[in-house]
Amino acid sequence: MGRAFVYVILGGGVAAGYAAVEFAKRGVSHGELCIISEEPVAPYERPALSKGFLLPEWIELVLGTRVKSADVRRRKLLTATGETISYKFLIIATGARALKLEEFGVSGSEAENVCYLRDLADANSLVNVMQSCSGGNAIVIGGGYIGMECAASLVINKINVTMVFPEAHCMARLFTPKIASYYEDYYQSKGVKFIKGTVLSSFEFDSSGKVTAVNLRDGSRLPVDMVVVGIGIRPNTSLFEGQLTLEKGGIKVNGKLQTSNNSIYAVGDVAAFPVKLFGETRRLEHVDAARKSAKHAVAAILEPEKTGEFDYLPFFYSRVFAFSWQFYGDNAGEAVHFGDYSGSTFGAYWISKGHLVGSFLEGGTKEEYEAITNATRLKPAVEDLAELGRQGLNFALTV
Ligand code: FDA
Ligand code: NAD
């Protein structure tokens, strides 16, 4: 059994959805484009885990179908159902998978009240578990995005939350201790407990296989009704290992999102691409990068002469409780805090080698977010860090 398409998108997540919409906008013909996804539903917006993409119905959707091997030389994909799908151009948009506790030596992840969160099926099961333990105790393992966002949702749903993570403060990959302590204080005022500097060592189960308690490496034991795990991700590169060049855990691409094979492009969480602003290759795990890299790859495939290098300013954001922050650029070098850390609008700039390279802002207006975006893109020279801190947002607004 075999089918052939001009364009195949492997993966059915955020980047796949945006790539398909871009192909449609640019007038690809019926029968030319196929999306293959392991998920049983068409691509959707992962952050909301709700909104669907409006894909034209002529795109061939091969859903609920895992690709189990790829033959780059012959330009063929083999699905778990035994079908061969060949392509002229392939876009790899396989994203990433959630890391499992088993990979850190803890077993028991498959218990029904232990939840991970990556796709729609995970989100549905998390909501079911949460509804079944109203007023109960949840342990959230991991102090990153999933940990912080899920802890807030659990509290709003009247569940007692304890967060456990190995670092000294939450969001350690991005936040400074000062930024982290602002949010941690608020979480604590809402009843969240933090256990830092330790990790899980084992689960205890009842006779039905449900987790009833967790044991931590520091010796403490916590009774639980449910566990949410957000301990990072691993890009889905395995189909292409040994066939395409990898870097930073992802599939290495050039400024046109093209891999080491020139009929294959990679976008989204799985792609390691050159970030011009930093002069180095990065793999980003955020939705804005997924959307924009997907669109750029399609432009590069359809109009190679007219399409330049992808020039991307990294952008991350989150919204929890009534908070809303945005970050642009790179959190490298020295952080300079500004604004009112006892109020609701504050931020930080990062200065590396005498230039502003990153900006964080909580509670800004549209104009203020635009100002920090522009300032970060311009990378202005900064000599006096104390003066920068005093000027705060005015620096970005007048740069
Ligand atoms: P994504 O993971 O979306 O899609 C990968 C697709 O490939 C899946 O459909 C998968 O099934 C499929 N696939 C993989 N291997 C396959 C195979 N062998 N065969 C067939 N199909 C295969 N970011 C942000 O900036 N702001 C935010 O607020 C959030 N919020 C957020 C919430 C939650 C719950 C999650 C899990 C993530 C976020 N993110 C986020 C991160 C953001 O969603 C992420 O960066 C993008 O989904 C990445 O898009 P991709 O398309 O690269 O991967
Ligand atoms: P993350 O990388 O943000 O955080 C992982 C956390 O796991 C670390 O902060 C650390 O505290 C913890 N950790 C690492 N090893 C551990 C161990 N052995 N035991 C206990 N804790 C450990 O990853 P995540 O929170 O799992 O998020 C998954 C992905 O989803 C990421 O790519 C993230 O960017 C994305 N996401 C993004 C957003 C957003 O941008 N607003 C929201 C949700 C998810």
Output the CA 26–ligand 2 centroid distance in Å.
36
Structure tokens given for 340 = 């009112």
The ligand that comes nearest to the alpha carbon of residue 195 is 2
Q: pLDDT at position 58, please?
A: 85
Distance, CA of 52 to CA of 40 (rounded, Å)? 13
- Residue 192's nearest CA partner among 99, 106, 320 is 320
Structure tokens given for 68 = 């189990």
Structure tokens given for 217 = 């490496």
The pLDDT mean for the chain works out to 95
Beta-bridge partner residues of 35: 9, 61
Average pLDDT value for residue range 282-292? 97
Q: What is the pLDDT of residues 46-94, one digit of tens each?
A: 665 434 556 788 899 999 999 999 999 999 999 999 999 999 999 999 9
Atom of ligand 2 nearest to the CA of 148: 25
Q: What is the pLDDT of residues 202-240, one digit of tens each?
A: 999 999 999 999 999 999 999 999 999 999 999 999 999
The ligand that comes nearest to the alpha carbon of residue 141 is 2
Beta-bridge partner residues of 70: 77
The ligand that comes nearest to the alpha carbon of residue 228 is 2
Residue appearing with tokens 């100002």: 371
Output the CA 394–ligand 1 centroid distance in Å.
36
119 lines ligand 2 (CB under 6 A): no
Distance, CA of 223 to CA of 190 (rounded, Å)? 20
Q: pLDDT at position 49, please?
A: 45
10 lines ligand 2 (CB under 6 A): no
Q: What sign for the dihedral angle of Cα 141, 109, 69, 65?
A: negative
Distance, CA of 44 to CA of 41 (rounded, Å)? 8
Are the CB atoms for 325 and 297 separated by under 8 Å?
Answer: no
Higher local confidence (pLDDT), 389 or 134: 389
Output the CA 223–ligand 1 centroid distance in Å.
32
Q: What is the pLDDT of residues 11-20, one digit of tens each?
A: 999 999 999 9
The whole-model pTM stands at 0.97
Q: What is the pLDDT of residues 256-268, one digit of tens each?
A: 999 999 999 999 9
**Dihedral class, residue 394 (left if φ above 0, else alpha if ψ from -120 to 50, else beta):** alpha
Q: What sign for the dihedral angle of Cα 361, 363, 366, 371?
A: negative
The CA–CA distances, whole Å, from 244 to 80, 252, 256 equal: 21, 8, 16
Nearest-CA residue for ligand 2 atom 3 is 144
Output the CA 108–ligand 2 centroid distance in Å.
20
ipTM > 0.85 (yes/no): yes
104 lines ligand 2 (CB under 6 A): yes
147 lines ligand 2 (CB under 6 A): yes
Beta-bridge partner residues of 362: 325, 346
Residue appearing with tokens 């407990």: 193
HEC string for 76-144: EEEECCCCEEECCEEEECCCEEECCHHHHCCCCCCCCCEECCCCHHHHHHHHHHHHHCCCCEEEEECCC
- Residue 65's nearest CA partner among 42, 86, 95 is 42
Q: What is the dihedral of CA 174, 178, 179, 182, to 10 degrees?
A: 140
Output the CA 335–ligand 1 centroid distance in Å.
30
Query: Which residues line ligand 1 at a C-beta cut-off of 6 Å?
Result: 11-16, 36-39, 46-47, 49, 66-67, 93-96, 117-118, 236, 239, 268-270, 285-288, 290, 316-318
Distance, CA of 184 to CA of 169 (rounded, Å)? 8
The ligand that comes nearest to the alpha carbon of residue 139 is 2
Are the CB atoms for 62 and 35 separated by under 8 Å?
Answer: yes
